Amino acid sequence: MQTESIEKCGALRGEIRVPGDKSISHRSVMFGALAQGQTRVRGFLRGEDNLSTLTAFRAMGIAVEERPDGELLIEGRGMQGLSEPADVLDCGNSGTTIRLMSGLLAGQRFFSVLTGDRYLRRRPMGRVLQPLAQMGAQIWGRQQGQCAPLAIVGQPLKGLSYQSPVASAQVKSALLLAGLYAEGETRVYEPHLSRDHSERMLRHFGVTVDSFAGGVSIAGGQSLQARDLEVPGDISSAAFFLVAALIVPGSELLIRQVGVNPTRTGILDILRAMGGDIRCLDERELGGEPVADLLVRSSTLKGIEIGGALVPRAIDEFPVISVAAACAEGTTVVRDARELRVKETDRIAAMASVLQTLGVTVTTADDGMTICGQETFQGGQVDSCGDHRIAMSAAIAGLCAGTALTIRDTACTETSFPGFWPLLAGLRRQAV
């Protein structure tokens, strides 16, 4: 099992890039496959999750060339161009792959089976299967349709108006994909706006998607036209280095070409509210998505309260936000974040355990946690629980630990951030 050891370091300085956005990379393959014609994708994230999506589409007859310069060339075959996969489709650790594909496969003219690793097979699938069943989908899963593996017998679908109980882009996107194949209109309402990459990319491919207060709608029977795409850097990956630079005294980092879609920038709002000095430079647009260079300087942080609509806008960043909170003056309270319990692992329990090992006072609630900030951490040994974001958040906490922090089970960072450890090691080597 891979382990990493981190301890206190000097100021982090310089200019970095982070790999492409995971959510956008998944969608580039899915929508590119459904489009008519060739889609060229620059900046595709070659993380394990996205490779699961790529492999699944290849297994359904989609040709994808991976060029040496990292560009993907996807030969889209149109809305009815997928073919029945000869084997089970393995979604690995990827919730986005399995949930979005459930929606997409529900309306095909063939049979398919989706599964994943032991972590994914524990995660709730009922949230997509239940509304899909109302559209006419025939999908079976373990535990009364709650868990993968999922067996899908493609069916003609009908549109649905659905109020989602959770703000989830995976639920919304699964229903939009099924809605493309359904007769009539599909409307999805959500309690707070979740990330809108599907809506933006579908529009980029020529589909009409209507966004309104509280939801989104799509008419069935539309087709996609191939369009080139450029994937911005993933703000969820940049988040680790934003927090690193904030908490290590004297640091200043410039992170180039990061996606700053407003449905994803909760991390910037939260860190700024804590007193973090983060500037967005050279804001521009790339393939329908806003991007900027982020300049971050070490800052004295203070504890804040986080809840409500801000939560889905920073949902993947709470592990590293909890590290910032542990370094802040005063107490940080996170509420309304029950979703963290059903991510790659239970991220409330996992981060509480990491921070407690470091000597931080943390209490947990069903929907969040309370973290008392302090000046330094002690070292020790922590476990990633097989969750990429727990492993990377622990590494950032280690930068403030007085003695070495050992992190067990660190190969999982390949899920979303290939090259994380060398990038961090390079910055630490040059630390001043």
Question: Under the rule (CB under 6 A), what is the footprint of ligand S3P?
Answer: 23, 26, 95-96, 168-170, 173, 194-195, 315-316, 339
**Least distance between ligand S3P and beta carbon 170 (Å):** 3
168 labelled as ligand-binding?
yes
**Least distance between ligand S3P and beta carbon 345 (Å):** 12
Output 335 or 428, the one with its CB closest to ligand S3P.
Answer: 335
123 labelled as ligand-binding?
yes
Give φ, ψ of 401 to 5 degrees.
-90, 135
DSSP state of 140: E
353 labelled as ligand-binding?
no
| E strand or H helix that includes residue 236 | helix 235-247
Output 196 or 293, the one with its CB closest to ligand S3P.
Answer: 196
How far is it, in rounded angstroms, from Cα 367 to Cα 365?
Answer: 5
Which residue, 5, 111, 96, is CA-closest to 53?
96
127 labelled as ligand-binding?
no
> For residue 335, what are its two tokens?
């509420």
111 within 8 A of 84, measured Cβ to Cβ: yes
81 labelled as ligand-binding?
no
77 labelled as ligand-binding?
no
**Least distance between ligand S3P and beta carbon 389 (Å):** 9
178 within 8 A of 152, measured Cβ to Cβ: no
Catalytic residues: 316
Which residue, 34, 174, 204, is CA-closest to 114?
174
Pairing of strands 3-6, 229-230: unpaired
15 within 8 A of 233, measured Cβ to Cβ: no
Output 339 or 367, the one with its CB closest to ligand S3P.
Answer: 339
How far is it, in rounded angstroms, from Cα 334 to Cα 345?
Answer: 18
**Least distance between ligand S3P and beta carbon 353 (Å):** 20
Distance of CA 306 to the CA centre of its chain: 19
Omega before 232 cis (within 30°)? no
How far is it, in rounded angstroms, from Cα 245 to Cα 339?
Answer: 27
- CB-based burial label for 368 (10 Å; 0-12, 13-18, 19+): buried
46 labelled as ligand-binding?
no
Output 357 or 384, the one with its CB closest to ligand S3P.
Answer: 384
Output 115 or 236, the one with its CB closest to ligand S3P.
Answer: 236
389 labelled as ligand-binding?
yes
How far is it, in rounded angstroms, from Cα 297 to Cα 300?
Answer: 10
**Least distance between ligand S3P and beta carbon 317 (Å):** 10
The secondary structure of the chain in percent helix, strand, coil, rounded to multiples of 5, reads 35, 30, 35
Output 77 or 200, the one with its CB closest to ligand S3P.
Answer: 200
126: three-class secondary structure by DSSP: helix
95: three-class secondary structure by DSSP: helix
**Least distance between ligand S3P and beta carbon 343 (Å):** 6
Distance of CA 315 to the CA centre of its chain: 8
**Least distance between ligand S3P and beta carbon 410 (Å):** 19
Output the known binding site for 3-phosphoshikimate. 22-23, 27, 168, 170, 316, 343
